[in-house]
Chains A and B, each alone.
Chain A
Amino acid sequence: MFKKLMLAGSAVAMMVAGTAHASDTVKVGIVLTLTTPAAIIGKQMKAGFEVAYDHLGGQIAGKKLELIFEDDTFKPNIGKQKTEKLVKRDKVDFLTGYIWSHVLGASAPVGFKAGKIVISSNAGHSIFAGKKCNKNFFNAAWENMQTPMAMGQLLNKKNVKSIYVLAPNYAAGKQMITGVEKTFKGKIVGKELTPMSHKDWSAELSKIKAAKPDGVFVFYPGAWGPAFFTQYKQAGLSGKIPLYNVFSIDGANLPRFQKAKMDHLVGMINTGHWSPDLDNAANKRFVADFRKKYRNEYPAHYAAQAYDSLMMIAAAVEQSGGDPKNVDAVRSAMEQAKFASVRGPFKFGKNHFPIQNFYSREVVKDKDGTWMLNKRETVLKNHAPAMSSECKL
């Protein structure tokens, strides 16, 4: 019994010691999905943060850098609880990660209330770019509608006259479809919002066949993608009707597609704000080191955004005089976005969303035969989210 008390006592002592030294560290709380099948994205992003940590040498402005990862289990309420824990127990200086709009929506207010800077490394809910923008919120990724808007533009360029659009029936899915509708000038002959639990598209594929569009546009991220692409081929549609996607093919799932020998995906085109072959020094170093760290796989944009998030924090702390607690100074520095982004040109708009290029990218084989995305053309240049003007910052 006495021993136990001693142990408990020393644990308390350590905790006290930990807080005493807090000012010598920069603490970054990172909320990701690390369990459930959605962890395929979370694990990529975790590796992205870790590469950034290595590149920073484990410190920012001479202070020890500490990353604290938490798992939101894909649920908004858990995400919020973990965020509370990061703020109140771990006393982090920054909150980042956040893959999903619903987790971000629940969690961000906790950070704002505590006066922390919150940086979304992926979730790009439109509302945060417009009406609900916040001085302490930064987005290191994109706004949901931008990528499909680039795709709509690309389809115009390719002279596609009619498309059939499909996405899962949730907020991001609807925003993807709205995005492509904004820029695509041809006719949308059919639109399907499929239930989220849905993994069998037999009904929809039959309808596509009957509608005979020039192209099919899909948003099927994560586990939906492999199932949809397989069935698209089985229905005899691949090779007949070109398939365009956003966020459905990336470095995180290409290895799996290749393993499953889904050859019909090579040559497929999607749009995005980044590509593993972007020609800048930061990106080359990031991609090479990421592959060393993570099963020799190419990073997906998720990992790239994670990397940028941490680099952005590091630059802002350093440029503002090295005190992460001085939130006003850090925020001003962060607005300048003076750091070497893996996506090359990068700046923040007034609403703290990136103003950046969007590219078309094609699935190719690299020199070892590994599948990867390669940049083709710049579709949208210095593009800002459509609803930026609604932001009153």
Chain B
Amino acid sequence: MTFALFVEQIINGLQLGIILFLVAAGLTLIFGIMDLVNLAHGTLYMFGAFFAATMVSITGSIVWGMILAIPLMLLAGVLLEVTILRTLYTRNHLDQVLATFGLILFFNELFLIAWGPEGTGIALPPWLSGSTKLGMGIELPDYRIVILVSGLIVAAMLYFLVAKTKIGMLIRAGASNREMVGALGVNIKLLYTAVFGIGAVMAGFAGMIITPITQAEAGMGEGFLILAFVVIVIGGIGSIRGAFYAAIITGLIDTLGRSFIDVVLLLVVESVTAETAGPAISSMLIYILMAIVLALKPNGLFPPRGA
């Protein structure tokens, strides 16, 4: 294990963490404010991927395609909220889980029919497909840097929006005390739609930005959705700050676990056991983390005030 490899793995872990945060932030906001368990949040992630891939192939430009995809994600998110999800706010969590599970089934099938089982993808132009040397033998693909930086920018924009603007103030108020916001005479419906829209765009952005690497296929959101749920539960539901830390921790543990667990295991057991147990333990690692966190702190690491 070299130093360069270790640093690269840390950066890879951060990248996964950022993407996770983009999905988890919306999820935790929607949960914290509207009290909605939205399993279909992974669907919004899939929307981003497919919309972007389609717009890129129409415009022929990755930059324009991605820019044009964002209003589409917003539109799709808002439509979903107004038509179906809005009616679920007053329902119990069980109803929400089931109804949004129904949405997942529907949209996965719809996208499968529309784009075919082979799905679609975004090809990177030559200027984005190289890699950059950062010194000390560390070399990173350029597009990874784009993901990392753009992810951080979106996270920073969210922070600004929540911490410094009027709508942000309402969001913070809503997350800690839902009734109070209503009492202030704010148009609750509009606020909810706006929050959902923000969540949809962030999840869509994550799906879009990852597509040049992983390609887009129907059902791509679900594996990620479970991870995002793990993140918000560890972080404390409703807490954006918690989601951020938990996403970074989860990203790092998952990536570093995958890379180095066999090395660690070799110290205690023989190689055959390490080889078979390694992948098993590394895929269980974040669930173990979550179980430990919840066993010690049943409301997550950073429960929002008032919760």
Shortest Cβ gap from B219 to chain A (Å): 7
Which residues does chain B contribute within 8 Å of A183, judged by CB atoms? Answer: none
Q: Render A24-60 as a binary contact track against B, CB cut-off 8 A, 1 for contact.
A: 0000000000011111101100000000000000000
Q: Is A6 an interface residue (CB 8 A)?
A: no
Contact assessment for B141 and A206 in the assembled complex, using a CB-CB cutoff below 8 Å: no
Query: Which residue of B5, B117, B275, B278 contacts A37 across the interface (Cβ within 8 Å)?
Result: B117
User: Which segment of B123-131, B153-161, B242-250, B297-305 sits at the interface?
Assistant: B123-131
Complex Cα spacing A37 to B9, Å: 30
A230 touches B118 (CB 8 A): no
User: Which candidate, B168-176, B188-196, B209-217, is the interface stretch facing chain A?
Assistant: B209-217
B213 touching A203 by the CB < 8 A rule? no
Q: Binary interface profile of A, 289-326, with partner B (CB < 8 Å = 1, else 0)?
A: 00000000000000000000000000000000000000
- B123, B258, B259 pick with most chain A CB within 10 angstroms: B258
CA gap between A36 and B131 in the complex, in Å: 34
A195 sits at the interface (CB 8 A): yes
Q: How many angstroms from the CA of A197 to the CA of B230 in the assembled complex? A: 16
| CA gap between A253 and B219 in the complex, in Å | 19
Say yes or no: A193 contacts B279, CB within 8 Å. yes
Contact partners of A204 in chain B: CB under 8 A: 258-259
Answer yes or no: A370 CB below 8 A from chain B CBs.
Answer: no
| Inter-chain contacts of B139 with A (CB < 8 A) | 209, 236
Given A37-B117, A226-B121, verify A200-B5 contact (CB < 8 Å). Answer: no
Report the count of interface residues on A (CB-CB < 8 A).
37
* B222-258 CB contacts (< 8 Å) to partner A: 223, 255, 258
Q: Determine how close the nearest CB of chain B comes to the CB of A89; give it in whole angstroms.
A: 25
**Secondary structure of the B side of the interface?**
helix
Cβ of B279 and Cβ of A223 under 8 Å apart? no
State the CA gap A227–B118 with chains docked (Å).
12
B215–A195 touching, CB < 8 Å: no
Q: Across the interface, do B118 and A37 meet the contact criterion of CB distance under 8 Å?
A: yes
Q: Is A392 an interface residue (CB 8 A)?
A: no
B86 within 8 A of partner (CB): no
Nearest chain B residue, comparing its CB with the CB of A191: B275
User: Within the assembled complex, what's the spacing in Å between the Cα atoms of A249 and B249?
Assistant: 36
Within 8 A of B (CB), among A325-368: none
Contact yes or no, A35 B112, CB < 8 A: yes
Most buried by B among A36, A40, A199, A234: A234
* B123–A207 CB distance below 8 A: no
Residues of A within 8 A of B119 (CB): 37, 223
Q: Does A202 contact B (CB under 8 A)?
A: yes
B143 within 8 A of A: yes
Q: Is A256 an interface residue (CB 8 A)?
A: yes
User: Do the beta carbons of A43 and B117 come within 8 Å of each other?
Assistant: yes
Bound state CA distance, A230 and B213, in angstroms? 7
**Distance to closest chain A CB from B260 (angstroms):** 9
| CA–CA, A227 and B258, complex, Å | 18
Q: Which residues of chain A have a CB within 8 Å of any CB of chain B?
A: 35-40, 42-43, 169, 191, 193-195, 197, 199-200, 202-204, 206-207, 209-210, 223, 226-227, 230-231, 233-236, 253, 256, 260-262
Q: Which 3 residue pairs are nearest across A and B when measured between Cβ atoms? A: A39-B117, A199-B214, A202-B12
Other 7 A-B pairs with CB < 8 A, given A195-B258, A234-B124: A35-B117, A43-B117, A169-B279, A210-B5, A226-B121, A231-B141, A256-B121
